[in-house]
Amino acid sequence: MNGLESAREQIEDIDRQMAGLFERRMKCARAIAAYKKENGLPIYDPAREKSLEEKNEKYIEDGVLVPYYRDFLRSLIGISKQYQNDIMS
């Protein structure tokens, strides 16, 4: 197996793990949507999103990757908000 094949296998393994984590995260988003709906809270919470970005980007050790991680997190938050909106509608 060459380096390319090895790297691709590792990515496939990581993607499988991320799929499980994504599903867990969205189940939490579902619970949050139910709470927000019950309590009349808005989906969008800019202070919470900013806090998540600031806190979570500290987990990235390679500083070059921080802006890419920030984009990834923003995308994930956007998907979560879309899912919450669908649930609350």
Return the CATH architecture of domain 3-88.
Up-down Bundle (1.20)
pLDDT classification of 79: cutoffs 50, 70, 90: very high
In angstroms, the CA 80 to CA 89 distance is 14
pLDDT at 64: 98
Average pLDDT over residues 61-82: 97
What is the per-residue pLDDT across 16-68, written as a single tens digit (0 to 9) for each? 999 999 999 999 999 999 999 999 999 999 999 999 999 999 999 999 999 99
82: its two tokens: 């879309």
pLDDT at 1: 74
86: its two tokens: 């669908």
Domain boundaries, the chain: 3-88
Q: Note the pTM of the prediction, 2 decimals.
A: 0.89
